[in-house]
Structure 1
Amino acid sequence: MSFPASQTPDWLSRDQLQPVPSAAACDWLFDERSLTRRLTELSDDGFSVTPLREGWLELRDDECAALDVPPGSLGWVREVYLRGNGQPWVFARSVAAREALADSGLDLQQLGSRSLGELLFSDRAFARGALQVCHYPANWLPVDSQHSQLWARRSCFRRERLAVLVAEVFLPAFWHAAAQAN
């Protein structure tokens, strides 16, 4: 599937954002701790992962650029809902280039309903890159979650030649739950 350049969002650092989101939004968008752990706390241990799609697919151009691979490269794509108390709170899309993943010994196909975040944060060999944010294109979301202007963040976790790009889109039910908790 090809994604026209006009649909590709500008992923921006905190310093590049104008206007800056609310302090509450920034707290979630730019927090470098494990999102899995924060969602587990927010949901009072009602956190779960629902796999939606995973497999070898052509990566989007913005993903290829972030992973430093040629446009049109194949990669492992994993899309999941991160749920709080049964509600989809976050849509997450994680990608890794095929060749680097094959050489890494990391088997993402075996994750199932486990959190990729927990794996990345528990392996100290992974270094997390800078967080970037954007308004995620609605047509990149699952049909039942296609809302416009949803905040997303992404960062690249690197271990030797392997890079895993993780994008997380905060859905309306998440913001409602976060507001209720404050």
Structure 2
Amino acid sequence: MPYETSQAPAAEWLQHSQVADCTAPALLDWLFDEGSLTRRLTRLSADHFSVTPLCEGWQPLRDDECRALDLPAGSEGWVREVYLRGHGQPWVFARSVAARSALESGGLDMEALGSRSLGELLFCDQAFTRRAIEVCHYPQAWLPALNASEALWGRRSRFDRDALSILVAEVFLPSLWQVAEISGEIR
């Protein structure tokens, strides 16, 4: 793991109703968009979208991830961290996790994804259902050093298919907001 996640203060994950009155509508549109982020980024980048894996492997999950996946604290899972890029620029830092036991019996080989988008796979498989999106100011210590900044908005949601649950967190980086503003996605 390229940075420390265990010593960071816990994130306060919030529902839409808890931020709707105090957050700009354009930001809320991105944070709570229930469509595929991969597809939205692909459109924004005029098909110059790519995924760059940063790290992946078996490791203990963070306490907030265990709670979100209904797992005992300290459970081990597969952790996949990537950049979602537009025109080669990192626009989103994404962290996806799933319990070892669920992956071993769930028929999904996350290790084989490589530079393919997990989000696209989740949206193409109609058997996955998405739970509510939660948002927070993502803890700086949980980000790669290149993007370690305070007050970056992140979101997460849980995707379920039978006994398999995958928690996907996406952190929106300043480079995305710059492009979105120029393109008229944010006003």
Q: Which residue of structure 2 aligns with residue 134 of structure 1?
A: 136
The count of aligned residue pairs is 181
Displacement after TM superposition at 1:18 (Å): 6.8
Give 1:121's aligned residue: 123
TM-score when normalising by structure 1:
0.97
Query: How far apart are the structure 2 equivalents of 1:18 and 1:8?
Result: 22
Give the structure 2 partner of residue 103 of structure 1.
105
1:3 aligned residue: 6
Percentage of identical aligned residues: 61
Aligned-partner Cα distance in 2 for 1:147–1:21: 19
TM-superposed deviation, 1:20: 2.5
Take 1:71 and 1:20, find their aligned partners in 2: how far apart are those partners? Answer: 32
Please name the residue that 2:154 is paired with: 152
**Runs (5+) with no aligned partner, structure 2:** none
User: Residues of 1 paired with 2:41 and 2:71: CA distance?
Assistant: 32
Change in Cα spacing, 1:72 to 1:2, as seen in structure 2 (3 Å) is farther
Counterpart Cα distance in 1 of 2:142 and 2:182: 28
1:157 and 1:20 map into 2 onto residues whose CA distance is 27
For residues 41 and 2 of structure 1, the distance between their equivalents in structure 2, rounded to whole angstroms, comes to 32
Give the root-mean-square deviation of aligned CA atoms: 1.2
Deviation at 1:54, TM superposition (A): 0.2
C-alpha change, 1:124 and 1:87, in structure 2 (3 Å) is: same
> Residue 105 of structure 1: CA displacement?
1.1
Tell me the alpha carbon deviations over residues 140-170 of structure 1, each in whole angstroms, 9 at most, x when there is no partner: 0001010110000000000011100000000
What SS is found at the alignment partner of 2:111?
helix
Read off the aligned partner of 2:150 and give its amino acid letter: S
Partner of 1:71: 73
In structure 1, C-alpha distance between the alignment counterparts of 2:77 and 2:21, rounded to whole Å = 34
